[in-house]
Every structure is written in structure tokens, then in C-alpha cells.
Amino acid sequence: MAREWARAEREGWLDRLYARDNEDGTRTLQPDSVQHRLLDNLEALLSHNISPKDAAAQTASLIMGEMDTDTPWSNNVGLHLKAAQAFDDEKVLQALVDYIIELASLPDPIHEAHEQKTVGTPLGIEYVNPGGPVEIDSRVLWRSLPDYSMTLSEWLQGE
């Protein structure tokens, strides 16, 4: 079931937003894209091939590896909520709960690269200097789960 869910996500909104044109005229989400790798990570969690703790650590590594942390963080929140909506298996849902708890329990990330990291906010682009904490809208990744509660609220309100 997790494989089918991941394929539908990959071929759906992720392709529409992030796919690249191929030589044959088709569009696909590139396997090296952060969105593809975040989805692979969640698929492994949902398939019980990776623990929630390891999935959280992998998520953090993928997101922090990007210069723009806001976009992959938002993508990850969306994937997590879509998975929670798609599955009714209690073990899968518990894994999703445990995953988000593990993610929120990670140490605060410090930007360790030598160049500035960008973070998109409703007020525009913010920059994180080397050695500074990574925040989105003044909320520290991971413990604050930036935008998670807002996205969940909007999600529950429907379209």
C-alpha cells in the first residue's frame, strides 16, 4: 500500500510542481530531487523498513542539505498529512505519530555551511548566516514544527 501511495504522490502534485522535462517529452520527478528523496523516506517509514527515529533523522539531513529549507519542509509537512489521510492502518498511523514526535525531538539545527541559507516566509526571504539557528517565521526547526499546525488547520477545513 505504501508503494502505491508514494507512486500516486510522485505522479501527482510532486510531478506537477517539481518534475523536469525528459528528452522524450515526458516529465518526471528526478530521483536526486529533495522531494523525491523525502517521499522515499516516508515510503520506507510507512512500509516499516525504517524506524520513525531514523526517518526523522533522514528528513532533517535532507532538508538541511538544501539552501532553501522552507520548500522541502513544507513539502514534508504536506506529505506527512497526506499520508495520515490516506492510511487507516493503525500501525502506519502510529508510525506517522512517532515520526513527527521524533522530528520535533531533534536538536535545533545550526546552519553549518559557509554561505547563507535562505528561508521563505510570508513576509519574504530571510537569510540564515553560518552558525545561526535555522528558523521559519521565527520558529526553530525541529522542535517548533513551523507551519505544521497552520497547515493541519487548513487541511481540516477542506478546499
**Cβ pair 115, 130 in contact under 8 A:** yes
Q: Average the pLDDT over 106-120 and give the result.
A: 80
Neighbours of 14 (CB within 10 A): 21
Question: In sequence order, what DSSP letters do the residues of 91-139 get, joined into one string?
Answer: HHHHHHHHHHHHHHHSPPPB--SSSPEEEEETTEEEEE-TTSBPEETTE
* pLDDT of 154 strictly over 80: no
C-alpha radius of gyration, the chain, whole number: 16
Residues forming beta bridges with residue 124, ordered by sequence position: 121
Q: What is the spatial distance between Cα 53 and Cα 148, in angstroms, rounded to a whole number?
A: 19
Q: In one letter, which amino acid is 25?
A: G
Q: What is the spatial distance between Cα 132 and Cα 127, in angstroms, rounded to a whole number?
A: 10
**Cβ pair 110, 134 in contact under 8 A:** yes
Give residue limits of the domains in the chain.
2-157
Q: Which pLDDT belongs to residue 69?
A: 83
Q: Which pLDDT belongs to residue 121?
A: 67
For the entire predicted model, the pTM comes to 0.84
| All three cell numbers of 67 | 539552501
